[in-house]
Amino acid sequence: MENSGLENFLLIAFKPDNMPIAAMLVIVFFLFWVAIVQMIKHDRHIKAGKKEKVWDEMIK
């Protein structure tokens, strides 16, 4: 029986020579998530009229 698309992808992705690429993708997605969380927090401060608080958090 033939492998499905997801099974083929996982077979290729988890080969030892592709692991650095998979690790890099995990790191990139984590940093993207951190940036989105900070963006939401800064937007809330700006809406509340606390622009100076955004600057204070950025220079920490």
Please report the pLDDT score of residue 51 as a whole number.
85
The 8-class DSSP code of residue 15 comes to S
Residues 6+ apart with CB under 8 A from 38: 57
Taking a C-beta distance cutoff of 8 angstroms, is the pair 51, 45 a contact?
Answer: yes
Taking a C-beta distance cutoff of 8 angstroms, is the pair 18, 8 a contact?
Answer: no
Could you tell me the residue ranges of all domains in the chain? Answer: 23-60
For 3-59, what is each residue's pLDDT tens digit? 899 999 888 888 999 999 989 999 999 999 999 999 999 999 999 998 888 888 888
